Amino acid sequence: MRRMVREIGWAARGACRGSDPELFFPVAPSAEQEARAKAVCAGCPVLDDCRAYAVRAAEPDGIWGGLTVRERRGLRFPAGWRRRAAG
């Protein structure tokens, strides 16, 4: 628990800290909702920390660091990564 608190201590300075969590973790995601969440992230002072954490932790849900789950997976597993590893 202590490690987690230390690792995400930057979150207290996030632009999202006063936002409704539903904006970043919607029940029924839409392109409009995604754009609104990403707009909050765009001006965030801890964007890089948030994004790095989400990619490293493989966060399975929500918008983190201005990226969707699919976008984060793309950073972790670039197109063709299996072919390169097998070849």
Q: What residues form the annotated binding site for [4Fe-4S] cluster? A: 16, 41, 44, 50
Binding residues: 16, 41, 44, 50
Size of the chain, expressed as the number of residues it contains: 87
Distance of alpha carbon 43 from its chain centroid, rounded?
14
**C-alpha to C-alpha distance for 73 and 42, rounded to whole angstroms:** 19
